Structure 1
């Protein structure tokens, strides 16, 4: 049986620690509000010095850089990703003060796509459900939503072909990616699926980026794919995804979807894109964007 004086010592020790936690909480709260005030000043500067177009408040490359630095300087005991997740929510709240962000996704609500919205933009973003992928694209095109999150990979079918067709059809840019872990209960293993973030603006380099392109080819000769990949091999650029779709009609057409490391503004990537554009191939640059941080 614990002695009374031992209980008193425990309570005294806990009281000291709780007082320390209260002081730390006050400092955290004060600093978060200071950050929010600074974010508001950033919005004022953007509006004051903006041109005729509406200022861009959400900068994917800047957010990726901040989250990477958070993880690099983290010393624990919280894991790097958990610390970055907390900062993601702080940035989400601060961004909402600058401009409430509306993000389209294909419903129903609370599905995996909306989970990807929350993971990438945080809980302060407003998610808007639509009935079809095409409506999601149109919501970005007509500016009723600032961004969209939609699947590019599915555990059931691999590359989502309808997303690929719409990327070929609509003039939007990929400005981010979201990797989502699914499953993980006692009866099934986990698997990862990938979502794209679409917007109307191109994204500046973040220092750790991907580029996605679509290539349409009517060349069905043997070795056509090898020729397509040669510019990447010569410059040592790694492909992270390559998908091919072909029709077998009177005039065969192949559509290649490619993800590779680097930004379109990087010298070697720019050389590859210029070489591809000098061929009979039809090239569409879907966007350069930060690689997923979380």
Structure 2
């Protein structure tokens, strides 16, 4: 017997009812998780690695007409809404003018209803994140011509780390390199990219430095550079394939080999490999 249009619409209604019931159940479970964390004394509500692992599991089983990008957007909205039930989040975002900056990418990742704190300068974004009302932040490497990643590598910013690259599906349409930051630890998700800052005395070229790192077993891709304020040192921001920590023995070996040319190496976080 051929299904009628009315039959199909009835099945869609039934499916919507079932989906809504499951969404309500997920929200209720998220609230219970929040209470369990509070009872256990766990202060870190936001767990980006856990969220990444959820999406990877779902995408492995995904099929049909909906693209993976649609599934990611749906679940990012749901995940963020449930995280806000546990503890409301505020995200500081660079927005020099209304509607400009990283607003769209921030909404894509943190959801439509997460509170945003617009900031007219990168320094204000970092101040709100480290001392003010913000729990998380979004910045691009091109924002305000400010080398915030260099500052992040300094002692005073070490409590903050990059944990995501936006969008999570790949490169932004406008070519901007955008990251999410927070007072959360950089943890391995199983398929990661690490952001490594290398500060030099200025006597070693980028090409030589890249070869030295690769020879030391660290696969790198330089994505940005900057001089120190007094112009006596030069720093490079590398994207490293895999999960790397600041105390990795390979970094110590590279520093020792270059005998004073490399002043500092520091991991400022990283991000899961893009989904699609």
Bin for the TM-score computed over the shorter chain:
0.7 to 0.9
Structure 1 residues 212 and 248, CA gap change in structure 2 (3 angstroms): closer
Paired with 1:247 and 1:192, the residues of 2 have a C-alpha distance of: 25
Deviation at 1:127, TM superposition (A): 0.9
Paired with 2:200 and 2:245, the residues of 1 have a C-alpha distance of: 25
1:40 aligned to which of 16, 31, 34: 31
1:79 pairs with 2:67: yes
**Contact (CA 8 Å) 2:150, 2:235: kept in 1 or not?**
no
1:212 pairs with 2:201: no
Over the residues paired in the alignment, what is the CA RMSD in angstroms? 2.9
Structure 1 stretches of 5 or more lacking a match?
1-9, 183-190
Question: Rg bigger for which structure?
Answer: 1
Under a length normalisation based on structure 1, what TM-score does the superposition of the two structures give?
0.79
The match for 1:120 is 109
Give a deviation string over 1:130-182, Cα, whole Å, max 9, x none.
Answer: 1211000011101410000011147xx9xx54334443455121121113634
1:287 pairs with 2:269: yes
**Contact (CA 8 Å) 1:203, 1:288: kept in 2 or not?**
yes
**Contact (CA 8 Å) 1:71, 1:81: kept in 2 or not?**
no
Paired with 1:112 and 1:245, the residues of 2 have a C-alpha distance of: 22
The match for 2:152 is 167
The 5-angstrom pairing of residues 132-211 of structure 1 reads: 132-153=121-142, 160-169=145-154, 170-171=156-157, 172-179=160-167, 181-182=172-173, 191-211=174-194
The match for 2:12 is 21
> In the comparison of the two structures, how many residue pairs are matched?
265
Stretches of 4+ aligned residues off by more than 6 angstroms:
none
Report SS of the residue matched to 1:76: coil
Under a length normalisation based on structure 2, what TM-score does the superposition of the two structures give?
0.84
Paired with 1:238 and 1:58, the residues of 2 have a C-alpha distance of: 29
Paired with 1:165 and 1:274, the residues of 2 have a C-alpha distance of: 19
Report SS of the residue matched to 1:124: coil
Structure 1 residues 105 and 89, CA gap change in structure 2 (3 angstroms): same
